[in-house]
A and B are shown apart, each in its own frame.
Chain A
Amino acid sequence: MTADPAENRLVHSWRATELALPGVAVAPRVEPRIARPAALRFPIDVPRPVVTRVGLFDTRPAVQSFHFQSPAAQPPAAPRRMEPPADSAVTSLHGLPPEGLEAEADAGPSASTPKRTRIAPPADVVKLSERFFYLLQPDLETILETSSLEFPRQPFPFQFDGMAFLMPRHGAVLADEMGLGKSMQAISSIRLLVRSGQARRVLVVCPKGLVSNWTRELADWAPEILVAVIEGDQQRRRWQWSLTDVPVKVANYEALVRDRDLIAELGLSFDLMVLDEAQRIKNRSSQTSEAVRSVPRRRSWALTGTPVENSSDDLVGVFEFIAPGHLHERMSPKAMGAAAADHVLRRTKDKVLKDMPPRLNRDERIELSPEQRETYRRAEEEGVLRLSELGQEATIQNVFELVLRLKQICNFDTFTGESAKLDCLEADLEEIHASGKKALVFSQWVETLGRLRGRLSRFGALEYHGGMSTTARDETIRQFKQEKKHSVLLLSYGAGAVGLNLQFSQYVFLFDRWWNPAVEDQAINRAHRIGAVGAVTVTRFLSANTIEERIDEVLRRKRDLSDTILSQAEAPAASGLTQDDLFALFKLAPPRSAAPIRAAA
């Protein structure tokens, strides 16, 4: 056996060898017969043994290395643990920590182990180094504790999950049910991105009526971040857009549309753009959608409690902002749900706040007064007759006009001013007012609010609607919150259904019904949200045997659509208020092919 150093292997060879036996010395006189040869030789082929060499870890394993940049902002020397403040609305419900917090913590490996929220990389982050960047970060609670960030109150565990969802995503839809703190989650995420240097220019776009809400929430949840509100004349707005040392700018949708060219002219781009009430851009061909999508940006987040209001197309419209081309109208609800899954986070109160005060729904079926009934009957008969006469010439506008007229009669008799609903409402408010509690009353019409205010003045009724200036509206909210004499706030769906935090109200009345259940939910959730101090009773007035009952049936069918897409289930048969639906309210055949009616939303 020899070693061949050149080939670093063993060479086995077969070589003949000999077996020699020693001979015996014999004396000369000894019989020569017994003489033997000196040695016996037997040639034998002896094979060399096979030797296997075992490698003893003679090479080091390959190593992949990743280096991460330290954040620009350095945390303080002494990290601080967040404690829920004693006066927090959330913690003061029963003098106990937030129930949701406890429930989540109990779900962990040990009841004594506080919940730790990991920032998981999104599915569309492909590079291993980028995925490691997120996976190797400390949990979110630790990041916050070591970053000297103070919060007005301890966020709920599901809100940490929301931040962990938003932070790593370039395109995200936070679609939590109203009242779960979408803006707070977005602001906290913005704050972390700004603090870590990942975002230096952030644009928040919201409805005009919510601008002051956003500035207030930004001041609460990110007090150290400078904020500029885009408002005023063009010269002023130009200056505001040009500010380079203000990390967060807040603009309303109308201002953004108006300043679209200005933004392009100034060459502005943003590290992050956040749309509040993002259902505003569901119609892709609208000016608002086009203006929003024209803004150069790196990250796009959409906040909406109703990503699907009428049809699955609504979600496609929102996705054109956060991830263009990712969804398209031809997808089935199930396929759309699957495609959207990694970009959309939706939680409902019943899932994340199991111990939140309950929402008690009460459908108040009201019989019209005899005079009201007669007025209603005549109006319907005349209206239907007119539509029948129009035949194929009848338009959706004709039908709408009739529906609106009948709904108004359900509120107030146009001749006598009688209102069975108001009689009922008054009776309820007597009790509410006497117990020192607060109620919200929603109506579709500002005119109705005015009439209600007249009759409900003894309850200190206040109005809140789009016809008021922002300052007047803010003052109304302040009065309603702070002054005991105001037991009732009368709101229009248009202005009052979004963005307001009125969780100190225990009663909500839907004096008339909106066209879309999602908007009704938004209205209800002004009161039934985090911080609610007790059960919220929701009363929906329905005039018996009227158009209101028929609309309610349609709304009930529509209510399932959003859940269908977001839960990736099959679509229900009816998914929106169509021309068919509207004509069917009067047992009329639609003139042409049925299509969803966007205007109704």
Chain B
Amino acid sequence: MEQKSAEAAGGAVAGPKAYGFLTAVESGTHGVFGGYLLVDPWGRPLEFHCTAPVKVSRAQQILFGSTLQSHLHGQQIGGTLLGEGTVTPEVVLTDLEPMMHVRSHTKLPVALIRGASSGSPAATFGSAVGTGSFTIGNASVSPHVTDAARGDDLRERLEELAAAVDLCEPFERIRAAIDEAQRR
């Protein structure tokens, strides 16, 4: 699997601090669209990458079974999108648990975001969500199991951004952009 981005190659692109927001939108007609938004510390967009829709066949559903979502989101969509970024984010945030599996395809820390009121997802056996969840602003942040020990580091990395924007909010922008792309 070829990774284009600097992060995938293990290098870091010097430049403004950036944060990645990764999600997917399912369309009954077209399939699953992926979107990856890179913003600066004030929440302003730097880059946006979106995939063509990926349609899952019935056979694929049967053959992948319970691993389908993690493969689809983590590798096919998430891995592909992260490979397109030209700046290296401090952290990649997602609001979809299956997308957490993208951590297997990147060296970047990945965390799951939820509205603080909805609570942190429990870290269960086999789950990509690790322990060490914390709340910042209106968001609950749950690092990937691989990054579970880096809770303090992640909190520090996110503090500047969280002072400017609600960490759940950029996902709305991605969804609005994907919705726009479908209508055009």
Contacts and interface: CB of A to CB of B under 8 A. Distances in A.
Answer yes or no: are A and B bound together in one complex.
Answer: yes
Interface of A: 54-57, 60-68, 70-71, 75, 77-79, 116, 118, 128, 131-133, 135-139, 142-143, 145-146
A178 B52 CA distance: 48
A61 B48 contact: no
B177 A146 contact: no
B146 interface: no
Interface residues on B, range: 35 or more
Contacts of A54: 57, 59-60, 63
A138 B44 contact: yes
Contacts of B163: 78-79
A62 B52 contact: yes
Contacts of B51: 61-63
Query: A interface, by DSSP: helix, strand, loop or mixed?
Result: loop
A149 to B, nearest CB: 13
A521 B77 CA distance: 58
B155 interface: no
B176 interface: yes
A142 B34 contact: no
Interface in B127-180: 160, 163-165, 169-170, 173-174, 176-177, 180
Given A64-B50, A79-B164, A135 B173 contact: yes
Nearest to B176: A135
Contacts of A132: 45, 48, 177, 180
B165 A138 contact: yes
A142 B164 contact: yes
A145 B163 CA distance: 10
A57 B164 contact: no
Contact of A57 (B16, B76, B84, B170): B76
A135 B174 CA distance: 8
Contacts of B177: 132, 135-136
Contacts of A131: 180, 184
A61 B44 contact: no
B90 interface: no
Contacts of A61: 34, 51-54, 76-77, 80
Contacts of B49: 63-66
Contact of A146 (B72, B77, B164, B184): B164
A476 to B, nearest CB: 45
Contacts of A55: 57, 60
A328 B148 CA distance: 65
Interface stretch (B6-14, B35-43, B96-104, B118-126): B35-43
Interface in B69-99: 71-72, 75-77, 80-81, 84, 86
Nearest to B16: A70
A159 to B, nearest CB: 21
Of all A-B residue pairs in the complex, the 6 with the closest CB atoms, nearest first, are: A61-B51, A136-B45, A138-B43, A62-B52, A146-B42, A54-B59
B54 to A, nearest CB: 5
A127 to B, nearest CB: 10
Contacts of A56: 60, 63-64
